[in-house]
Amino acid sequence: MNTDAGKARFAKATPEGSPYAANLPKVKNASHVVALCARTSVDDAHLSTLLAQEEKDGRFPTPEGKEMQAWTQKQVYLALGTILLGAATLGIDATPIEGFDPQALDQELALNEKGLKSVVMVALGYRSAEDFNAKLPKSRLGAETVITAL
């Protein structure tokens, strides 16, 4: 969404006075806000479409039928990572936002009726000169801490 009206709809998931209010300015002041959604179920028709496409592309997957929600949400986080990297490559700032009311957004965008459920949002744009966070140093654990060589 890149219109004020669209962003106002997203803002219903981060309202004033709620635990998510700190994210309200991020939603309102971003250039674009994206909601990443997961399918609530994967029906036979969709599985057939996926399988046909992957077969056409030379792959023979065996997708897990169990724990579908966990699986679909993992796919969403792959897309999230790709958006964050892609935006950074283009010099666009991005903030992933988990701090919102997913039920409110699902209702506002009628996502359940589409077989979807919101998982995470991304606010995109260019940083404000007053953005204190942008001037803070990055904090990253060292490679020796997060990578174990075997």
Ligand X SMILES: Cc1cc2nc3c(=O)[nH]c(=O)nc-3n(C[C@H](O)[C@H](O)[C@H](O)COP(=O)(O)O)c2cc1C
Q: How far is CA 31 from CA 6, 23, 59, in A?
A: 11, 14, 38
Choice between 52 and 134, CB closer to ligand X: 134
Choice between 56 and 138, CB closer to ligand X: 138
Choice between 50 and 76, CB closer to ligand X: 76
The Cα 118–Cα 24 span in angstroms is: 17
What residue type is assigned to position 123 of the chain?
A
Q: Which of residues 30-69 bind ligand X (CB under 6 A)?
A: none
118 binds ligand X (CB under 6 A): no
Name the residue whose CB lies closest to ligand X.
99
The Cα 127–Cα 134 span in angstroms is: 7
Shortest Cβ distance from residue 87 to ligand X (Å)?
Answer: 12
Burial of 40 (0-12, 13-18, 19+ CB in 10 A): middle
Q: Which residues bind ligand X (CB under 6 A)?
A: 23, 26, 95-99, 133, 138
